[in-house]
């Protein structure tokens, strides 16, 4: 087994274990972090003219937004959930445009928006 393959296998197990052991609050935190990481990676791909990689990273970020939308609880927090759903939809649209136009500014915008959401989420005390 070569070094890169071993490292990749370790990372997959490590991520899988982190997700399996995570609380619902932690899972959302991981999604928020993953979103910003994927958009940042897409931005780097844009700067390096790596079109296929850019598309893959944008696609993963869109998948994360879909997961976040699916996790919204409209019964427990209708107004907040509705506002977040609209914001996630806006961010999805911005990512599609960023992908089509190689627009780094749109990537920066969605990273900034998600950072605000992430900051708020991190301040919510996890119920144990």
The string of pLDDT tens digits covering residues 35-81 is: 999 999 999 999 999 999 999 999 999 999 999 999 888 888 789 89
* CA atoms of 64 and 91, how far apart (whole Å): 11
Q: Which of 8-22, 23-37, 60-74, 99-113 has the lowest mean pLDDT?
A: 8-22
Residue 9 lies in a domain: no
pLDDT digits (tens, 9 = 90+) for 80-98: 899 999 999 999 999 999 9
How many structural domains comprise the chain?
1
In a domain, 115, yes or no: yes
The dihedral built from the CA positions of residue 10, 55, 52 and 54, taken in this order, carries a sign that is negative
Predicted TM-score of the model (pTM):
0.81
Domain that holds residue 45: 23-123
Residue 21 has pLDDT above 90, yes or no: no
Residue 34 placed within a domain:
yes
Which residue in 24, 36, 93 sits closest to 61, CA to CA? 36
- Residues 115/32/54/97 CA torsion (nearest 10 deg): -60
The verdict on residue 4 lying in a domain is no
Whichever domain contains 112, its CATH number is 1.20.120.340
Give a yes or no: residue 75 inside a domain. yes
The interaxial angle of helices 24-47 and 51-70, nearest 10 deg, is 160
The answer to whether residue 99 sits within a structural domain is yes
14 is a domain residue: no
Tell me whether residue 119 is in a domain.
yes
């Amino acid at each position: 087994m070569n070094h890169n393959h071993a490292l990749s296998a370790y990372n997959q197990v490590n991520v899988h274990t982190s997700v399996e052991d995570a609380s619902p609050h932690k899972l959302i935190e991981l999604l928020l972090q993953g979103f910003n990481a994927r958009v940042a990676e897409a931005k780097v791909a844009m700067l390096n003219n790596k079109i296929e990689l850019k598309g893959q990273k944008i696609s993963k970020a869109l998948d994360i937004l879909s997961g976040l939308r699916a996790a919204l609880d409209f019964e427990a927090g209708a107004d907040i959930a509705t506002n977040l759903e609209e914001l996630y939809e806006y961010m999805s649209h911005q990512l599609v445009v960023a992908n089509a136009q190689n627009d780094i500014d749109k990537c920066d915008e969605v990273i900034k928006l998600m950072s605000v959401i992430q900051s708020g989420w991190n301040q919510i005390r996890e119920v144990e």
